[in-house]
Amino acid sequence: MTTATLQFVDTPDGAFAILADDADRVIVSGWTADPDAVLARLRPDRRPDRVVEGDTWAAEAVRAYYDGDLAAIDDVEVAQQGTALQLAGWRGLRDIAPGAPLTYSGFAAALGSPAAVRAAASICARNAVALFVPCHRVLRGDGTMGGFAWGTDVKRRLLTREAAA
């Protein structure tokens, strides 16, 4: 039986949910106060058997990020499951510096596959650990927000916060 810990952190962008596995690695995160929305980010066969509310060490990184330490999220351990390309893409997202967003085509090029723009967009869309794997730092080719699982208003505020730092 697997147990995961769920914690909600108040942020200027609303409630931020963190779901961590039994090794305290983040498996889902995002801006919601709805436990069902958190679990919906995982495939049914990857959902924990039991979810308990408690404290995660990642919450301190979220608070520090919002207090201006944008690098605080960099060392939070995450656990995602996916294809080799997805895993490489999620690692690549963590290399995008705050305040220096890429376009989907720029992200594809950074992954070594400049023609794989749709794959790059799919990697962002399937990222279950928002903020810690900063998919919000990828924009459409024309510089507009594009999609974001937690809403483009949150994405815009994150990018504005990072650009100002």
Please write the tens of the pLDDT for every residue from 72-131.
Answer: 999 999 999 999 999 999 999 999 999 999 999 999 999 999 999 999 999 999 999 999
Is there a single domain that holds both residue 98 and residue 159? yes
What b-and-e string marks burial along 108-144, b requiring 16 or more CB atoms within 10 Å of the CB? bbbbeeeebbebbbebbebbbbbbbbbbbbbbeeeee
Is there a single domain that holds both residue 40 and residue 69? yes
Residue 92: which domain range?
84-164
Instruction: Write down the pLDDT at residue 78.
Output: 98
Instruction: Write down the pLDDT at residue 70.
Output: 97
Instruction: Write down the pLDDT at residue 147.
Output: 86
- CB–CB of 39/28 below 8 Å? yes
Instruction: Write down the pLDDT at residue 112.
Output: 93
What b-and-e string marks burial along 5-27, b requiring 16 or more CB atoms within 10 Å of the CB? bbbbbebebbebbbbbbeeebbb
Rounded to the nearest 10 degrees, how much is the dihedral formed by the CA atoms of 20, 26, 31, 36?
-40
Instruction: Write down the pLDDT at residue 62.
Output: 98
The catalytic residue among 135, 149, 154, 158 is: 135
Note whether residue 78 is domain-resident.
no
Question: What pTM value is reported for the model?
Answer: 0.95
Note whether residue 112 is domain-resident.
yes
For the chain, the domain total comes to 2
Structure tokens at 130: 């928002």
Last residue of a domain, one of 73, 95, 115: 73
Q: Say how many CA atoms lie within 13 Å of 137 toward its Cβ.
A: 24
Is there a single domain that holds both residue 91 and residue 22? no
Is there a single domain that holds both residue 63 and residue 24? yes
Instruction: Write down the pLDDT at residue 135.
Output: 97
What b-and-e string marks burial along 80-94, b requiring 16 or more CB atoms within 10 Å of the CB? beeeeebeebbebbe
124 classed as catalytic: no
Q: Which of the pair, 164 or 1, is modelled with greater confidence?
A: 164
Instruction: Write down the pLDDT at residue 146.
Output: 86
What average pLDDT does the segment 5-14 reach?
Answer: 98
pLDDT in tens, 11-50: 999 999 999 999 999 999 999 999 999 999 999 999 999 9
Note whether residue 16 is domain-resident.
yes
pLDDT in tens, 146-157: 889 999 999 999
- CB–CB of 68/165 below 8 Å? yes
